Chain A
Amino acid sequence: MENFEPEIVAFCCHYCAYTAADMAGSKHIYYPANVKIIRVPCTGKVDTIHIMKAFEKGADGVYVAGCLEGDCHFKNGNTRAKYRVEQVQNILKDLGWEIERLEMINMSAGMGERFASTALEFTKKIKQLGPSPIKIINTEKHQQVAD
């Protein structure tokens, strides 16, 4: 697929990654517009079904960005998120998807640069992986209709 621009969903914790994104913005650090941020009160609030639905709705990649390990505002929300990410990765693996499309990332509120570099690297990785299997099928279908 030429000129593929991935759609990436980032579940960002209000207390760290979201603030880091804000800081990246304030500092005018560039990060790709492919990343759509969903602010959550804590990554512990992100359930497996939320990640699954993101993929179902056509996301090419998803990442959950929580506080540094041991620094969760709610004690262990980021640890729970890590387990949930692993659970969905196992489901994706069983379904024959690349598990690299989903990642757990940790950062603190002051890491504006890290937020931007993470967004950049993740977008690059998803571009290399290509569109989600759902998008590939849909494109092929549209192609057949057009032909």
Chain B
Amino acid sequence: MAVPDSLPVTFIGHPFAPIGMGEQLRSHLAAASAAHVEWGVLDIFRYAQRGDAAHHDLIGDREIARPRGGIRIFHVNGDEVDRVLDAFAARGGDFAGGYNIIVPAWELPLYPKQWAARLTKFDEVWALSAFVQESLATAGVMSHLVGQSVEVKPGLLLPRRFFAIRESAFVLLHFFDLTSYAARKNPFGVLDLFGRLRRAAPFLDIQLVLKVKDGEQDGADWAEALGSDPLVRVISTPLDSLGVRSLIAAADCFVSLHRAEGFGRGLGEAMAMGRLALGTAWSGNLDFMTESNALLVRQTQVQVPADAYPHWQGQTWAEPDIDHAAALLAPVLRDPARGRMRALRGQAEVLRRHGNRAVGLRILDRLDAIAAALPGRGRTAPRRRRVAAPTA
């Protein structure tokens, strides 16, 4: 059974935004293409700048100006559902006149109940990771695990010199976002780890590269505070897709001592590019990181401190064991070839399970199942298959 052409597939969200929600949507576009699914994309708010050449390469002329029927896949978060649906209606969209899927992101083990209620407006929910799926389930939301692609299109890469990174060094790379709640990404844990490594081997040729998401004052402050240390390089200027993929390729090891990740895209992309990944052994990144293909850092579950994250009440997250992280890295620093062997395994496994085609086929499977369930194969409105209501 195949998706009929009479049932167009539209991805809706923030296709040009340099944020996680944009990345997950674009990853689904690339995945759908790899499975030969025809799609259109609707930029629901049109806020984002459109300066990134890679986005245009991906989307081409497949952006549509107005909502249409068929299957709609919304890459939006629970908290923006109402605004998105208002905008959808304002753009002339008939929400009830199609089959609606939502792909929400979330980073903690319990999905917020007030958002779950909004998800019930949709016919179906797709989960970006097993972790998100379980989190949704705690709020009574049934979802299909589709995941997201971490495949990075090969192309030009800017060299280390472009970023003024030490060419000789073993480079640890960490991404974080100061505009979000910094505690979750845990950059302080990474600094702590780096400090330990240096104390253990003061003349080891290593460098820490911190890519700070936002070029705002906080980022500049960070850069200034660390600026005196030649072995820590803070990059706070915004980077486009070329810049980001080049930076990942420039690293030897991508480090994330996160307390929680919905999926852990940075880790996944680094692995897809053949780079070693070191990450907390908890949450979304466990979809693709294993003991044998990456470095997984032991953790203990702790209560999320008050106001450390939205909807923190009653949630737990990980406290990674920094000593363990240092111990995992020590043999790799002694013999980087060992890290490269592990990374090679990681690359193969990630691309096979979380590459464009693998994810695209999971999307295709869902679309086929939806199409198969339609009476009259798409000529009439799809049968509603409501998402379960949240448990009280």
- B is bound to A: no
